Amino acid sequence: MQQYDYIIAGAGASGLSLAWKMLHSPLSKKKVLILDQSLSPSHDKTWCFWDAEAPPFADLIYRKWTKAEISIFGTRSIEHLNNYTYYCLRSVDFQNHILNQLTDHSHFDLLEAPVKELSFDGSNPTLHTDTNTFKADYIFQSCFNPWDNTNSQPRYPLLQHFLGWEITTSKPVFDDSFFTLMDFDKTFESGIAFIYLLPWSKNSALIEYTIFSNTLLEKKKYEEKVSLYLSNRFKLKPVDYSIKRKEFGKIPMEDRPHKPWYKPGILNLGTVGGVTKPSTGYTFKRIQKQTDQIVENLLSGRDLQPQPPSKKRFKAYDLWLLHIIDRHPKDALQIFNHLFKNNSLDDVFRFLAEESSIQDDLKIMSSVPHAPFLRAIWKTRSRLREI
């Protein structure tokens, strides 16, 4: 049995963000173990976020834009971002950079092994692999869903699920001065669906078909939508492009309350810690806030006191929108239409980032249809008290 000050179980965005911040703080003198089933960097994810200031991990940013396109009900518009920049970071670059620096530090150990169990023996949190047991003052985990062994179920079991192709084309077809945030598919009726397009250059891009719903599709269905979009919008036939890689994901749009602790001394990180924004799926920037708070808490010498990822009013807004998407997707499409038509994208981003004032919120809420939200407020009143 080995003893550490801290153990980080899971080397994804949240685990490596925390390790990086420990490494660049006085906590670098502590003995830290980082482990995951695989510590080989993989080019399988793309993390995006917007920021009004210098972005986290600025040296690793792959692409950035200050213009965004929205298309809904046949109306296509491109808008400048005056206060925010939209950033894209690749998981392979992020993992390579952080793992290389951790490898060179004598106080940080890396272990490639599956985590079998996390337990608490009455005095210390403990991590079990097939061959070893490790104890620590705290374990920070992103491996296990804290809801799996409970009776709690989401009221609105929605997912954000998507499949994307990273492609190169035989001719220049993309305008890489802007990205497409949402190009809605009005033919999809079982939720909300849209194309999300990040142009790397004039002849390369990541294009995803994204759905907010409670049911996954067969992967070929997403691919058919991507192929059809490339044909309809860019006049591209399959012979005109090559698929360099595919990206598939599903993100819970979780309406259950934030659950900070997995077991005593074992803190949930990232998506399993409720950090993902329920109504959008954006997580990376919120991970940075969570990990900053953890490091500040540890440096203060006090017991960890994790803060809820959202203030109460934003939790309510998310719940109402989840209800509408789940029960009345056509109303949700109208809400998105009015949201983007009646507000600047800067104001929308400020609201979605939970950086808005109550006055800002009222302006946003007054710009969208009232009836769906009034119904949602009434229908979700008991759930709101629960969470």
Give CA–CA dist 329/321, Å, rounded. Answer: 10
Residue 251: which H helix or E strand, with range?
strand 241-253
For the chain, what is the largest distance between any 2 Cα atoms, rounded to a whole number of angstroms?
Answer: 64
Mean of pLDDT values over 178-196: 96
Sequence spans of domains, the chain: 2-150+257-300, 158-253, 312-386
Give CA–CA dist 286/271, Å, rounded. Answer: 10
Q: Tell the residue number behind the tokens 């482990």, with chain if given.
A: 35
Mean of pLDDT values over 176-194: 96
- Residue 297 pLDDT > 90: yes
Give CA–CA dist 322/280, Å, rounded. Answer: 10
State the pLDDT at residue 152.
82
State the pLDDT at residue 121.
87
Asked if residues 283 and 13 have their Cβ atoms less than 8 Å apart, the reply is: yes
State the pLDDT at residue 45.
93
Give CA–CA dist 71/179, Å, rounded. Answer: 12
- Residue 257 pLDDT > 90: no
Give CA–CA dist 116/128, Å, rounded. Answer: 6
CATH of span 2-150+257-300: 3.50.50.60
- Residue 383 pLDDT > 90: no
Question: What count of residues does the chain have?
Answer: 387
Measured CA to CA in angstroms, residue 230 lies from 176, 210, 300, 321 at distances of 16, 15, 53, 30
Give CA–CA dist 10/24, Å, rounded. Answer: 19
Which residues 6+ apart lie within 8 Å of 246 measured at CB? Answer: 163, 164, 165, 166
**Mean pLDDT score of the chain, rounded to an integer?**
95
How do residues 39-89 score in pLDDT, each as one tens digit?
Answer: 999 998 999 999 999 999 999 999 999 999 999 998 999 999 999 999 999
Q: Tell me the three state secondary structure of residue 386.
A: helix
Measured CA to CA in angstroms, residue 137 lies from 115, 174, 203, 298, 341 at distances of 18, 51, 51, 11, 51
Q: Smallest Cα–Cα separation from 9: which of 157, 154, 122, 109?
A: 109
Residue 359: which H helix or E strand, with range?
helix 358-366
Give CA–CA dist 244/232, Å, rounded. Answer: 21
How do residues 243-256 score in pLDDT, each as one tens digit?
Answer: 999 999 999 998 88
How do residues 79-92 score in pLDDT, each as one tens digit?
Answer: 999 999 999 999 99
How do residues 332-378 score in pLDDT, each as one tens digit?
Answer: 999 999 999 999 999 999 999 999 999 999 999 999 999 999 999 99
